[in-house]
Amino acid sequence: MKDYNEVAKGWIEGNFDPETKCKVIELRNGDPKEFEDAFYRNLEFGTGGLRGIMGVGTNRMNKYTVGMATQGLANYILRNVEGPKSVCISYDSRNNSKLFAKISADVLSNNGIHVYLFDNIRPTPELSYSIRAKGATAGIMITASHNPKEYNGYKVFWSDGGQITAPVDKDIVAEVNRISDPDEVRFNPVGEIGGIEPMGADIDELYLRDILSMTLSPEAVSRHTDLKIVYTPLHGCGVRLVPEALRRLGMKNIIHVPAQDVSDGDFPTVVSPNPEEPAAMKMAIERAEEVGADLVMATDPDADRMGIAVRDNEGKIVQFNGNQTASMLTYYILTRWKELGKLSPDKYCVKTIVTTDLIADICKSFGVKCYNVLTGFKYIAEIVKEHEGDGEFICGGEESYGFNVGQFVRDKCAQVTALMVAECAAWAADQGLTLYQLMQKIYREYGLYEEKMVYIVRKGKSGAEEIRKIMEDYRAAAPSEIAGKKVVKVIDYLKPEETDLPKSNVLQFFDAEGDSVSVRPSGTEPKIKFYFEAKGDDASRKIAALVEQFIN
């Protein structure tokens, strides 16, 4: 790329609005390091779309980078799709999400593509659902998921309701990369207009009807409608549908955290709106202690992932990690499917390569195939798409708090997860068990599994280089031992011939006991992530040793 000063000069002298030009000059004069980071590269439109810090510059989320991405998507659709063309658009509560959604809608409409635009914030899984409900060509979700408040993002979905995958993803990326100047973007009407049609309550009703149709234990729910559930949307859009879904399930005791019901892109009560972070659930857990609740649920800003906390045997509220929630729900759903006579050889589950093997072991015990895919729910949705007509997706999950059930939504879905967790709690209560005790029962049956994810943050240009160097060093010299045990297998996912999966920048190291370490750069944040899994009665000791070896 050209020198970043020259690129910034183009923004100051080019066809950009006066406010943007002033902000570029202010940044150049006031914060040289931030100025370099804003212009040293183009914000990458990857195979899932855009995600980055909001602000002026080529490496930032702003109306110009969003407009250029949308023009590239429009060009791809116009050149490759026959017949009527339409795109569904939704957005979450983040700052500028509504603005970016409106810009995207205008650009598509100005290219002659019809747009269905949600009338207010809606969850990512409902956007996925709406694409198939409307028979749309594609979808756009404006969100940065669980990232900190300074971020926003732009996810692209295709006609099957899943995020774009090969070969469509790479072809759209190529079209976006051909847009080199905002002057190429149809920000204003030129020729035929596609029109922008609002949608809202109509899709809400269809979506709720369909996810509620997948419940498995209505009788158990009817016996435990007084289950006390504290729910927080963490200032996101889950507040619109999660409580309503639980009420329609039959739960009568949904307790809110009022300060966090406010949809606010500044996320004023949390440092990070990520249910994976214990601090994010602090207020909800305090509320649960006040009211004596049995269960705590928290969803991220776009309500596609959910964290839970339950009471242990001493009555203390403890958080489940994403692996535990996904394992427990898989066990519950497969148990009920078996009891209802719904299992057959064509049914299957899916997990990602960094998600606990406990799920695979549970599936094996029920005679159900479990597919293992790359990190990212779009790969789970891809398996569902591949097996349409010759198999049925039961459920799937990933360690990062994402889970889904059935085929109505082609992404992770906090709304259906909330339903399943509440229903599972009622089913367990019928057996005299809490959710904590149910998880202990699963460990007694399949063996103890313990997992931990630790990340290292490295921001900016220098941080990206450092993360790249860490991955290079591990490839050049893999560890010979992990937690004192000899490494017997190394998998490099940049070598698809070793994995039968597409290329991905992930390394995994295994010992003879099946303990493992997985290392990968985050695709959405300036982080490198380490996933540790250990099995057996001394799993906690081994996890501590792994963290000490790789992090400390």
Q: Structural domain boundaries of the chain?
A: 41-199, 207-446, 449-550
Report helix, strand or coil for 476: helix
- Is residue 388 packed enough to be buried (19+ CB in 10 Å), middle (13-18) or exposed (0-12)? exposed
Helices (H), 179-321: 201-212, 218-223, 242-249, 258-261, 282-291
What's the order of all strands across the beta sheet hosting 527-535? Answer: 449-457, 527-535, 516-521, 507-511, 485-492, 481-482
Distance CA 490, CA 130 (A): 41
Distance CA 439, CA 100 (A): 42
Task: Specify whether the CB–CB gap between 383 and 350 falls below 8 A.
Answer: yes
* Of 145, 400, 516, 518, catalytic: 145
Task: Establish whether domains 41-199 and 449-550 are of one fold.
Answer: no
Quick one: tokens of 125?
A: 């899984």
Per-residue exposure over 231-242, b if at least 16 CB sit within 10 Å of its own CB, e if not: bbbbbbbbbbbb
Task: Specify whether the CB–CB gap between 385 and 378 falls below 8 A.
Answer: no
Q: 435: how many CB neighbours lie within 10 A of its CB? A: 25
> Which secondary-structure segment (H or E) carries 58?
none
What's the pLDDT at 351? 98
Distance separating the N- and C-terminal Cα atoms of the chain: 36
What is the CATH T-level fold of the domain 449-550, as seen in this structure? TATA-Binding Protein (3.30.310)
Q: Is the dihedral of CA 224, 225, 230, 233 positive or negative?
A: positive
Task: Specify whether the CB–CB gap between 352 and 375 falls below 8 A.
Answer: yes
Cα–Cα distance list, 404 to 285, 337, 413 (Å): 24, 16, 5
Report helix, strand or coil for 365: helix
Residue closest to 227 by CA, chosen among 415, 442, 438, 434: 434
Give the largest Cα separation in the chain, rounded.
71
Across-strand partners of 309? 296, 319
Distance CA 483, CA 487 (A): 10
Quick one: tokens of 314?
A: 């001493």
Quick one: tokens of 400?
A: 């990062």
Report helix, strand or coil for 99: helix
Cis peptide before 275 (omega within 30 of 0): no
Cα–Cα distance list, 345 to 91, 380, 408 (Å): 39, 19, 21
Distance CA 347, CA 334 (A): 10
Residues of the chain with pLDDT under 70: 1-2
In 346-493 the beta strands, taken as DSSP E runs, fall at 347-352, 369-373, 392-398, 402-405, 449-457, 481-482, 485-492
Looking at 1.10.3720.10, 1.25.40.10, 3.40.50.10380, 3.40.120.10, the CATH number of the domain 41-199 comes to 3.40.120.10
Question: Has 145 been annotated as catalytic?
Answer: yes
Quick one: tokens of 497?
A: 């011939």
Q: Which CATH class is domain 207-446?
A: alpha beta
Distance CA 438, CA 486 (A): 34
Task: Specify whether the CB–CB gap between 157 and 104 falls below 8 A.
Answer: no
Across-strand partners of 43? none
What's the pLDDT at 2? 66
Task: Specify whether the CB–CB gap between 107 and 70 falls below 8 A.
Answer: yes
